[in-house]
Homo-oligomer: A and B are copies of this chain.
Amino acid sequence: MTTAEKQKVKQDGGGLLRLDRQICFALYSASSLVTRLYRPLLEPLGLTYPQYLVMLVLWEKTPRTVGELGEALGLDSATLTPLLKRLEAGGLVSRKRDPADERRVLVEPTAKGAALRERAKAVPRAMACQLPLSQDELINLHGTLSRLSRSLRKTERQPG
């Protein structure tokens, strides 16, 4: 290593600030790119990517409260309320106060929203085909990310 190189390393703390070394950027970048890859698949369904995620949750079990959707997706009511109103305006879900507890809002797919599920079935396979990863890599990546998310959620719920 030349003197100039040593100096450079010293300056940037061993290259710790290099963009290509930041795990955060790798995640951020991959996530945006994959989301972008979904766009042309979801547009024909009339869904944005977060709206698609909400519908996935609703198709699994319904009705759900806003809070349950938020818990499943890691979003709060400030994000979900307007998003759900847009889905409602598009005729895909209904929103009504829970008679048993008027604080809660029950969200449920309409007939149109339920029917959309059939068309959505093609999406995961179409995506898998476009991702340049082997089956093993995919499974491995999914596992690591899921564990990471689970851990972070747990620590998020605690004070520090």
Contact across chains for A121 and B17 when beta carbons are under 8 A apart:
yes
Contact across chains for A74 and B142 when beta carbons are under 8 A apart:
no
Contact across chains for A25 and B53 when beta carbons are under 8 A apart:
yes
Chain B residues within an 8 Å CB radius of A49: 24, 28
Residue total for A at the interface (Cβ-Cβ under 8 A): 61
User: A78 near B: Cβ within 8 Å?
Assistant: no
Cα of A130 to Cα of B158 in the assembled complex, Å:
13
Q: A121-B16, A124-B17 are in contact. Are A137 and B144 (CB under 8 A)?
A: yes
Cα of A90 to Cα of B34 in the assembled complex, Å:
32
Chain B residues within an 8 Å CB radius of A155: 130, 132
Q: A19-B53, A53-B19 are in contact. Are A132 and B152 (CB under 8 A)?
A: yes
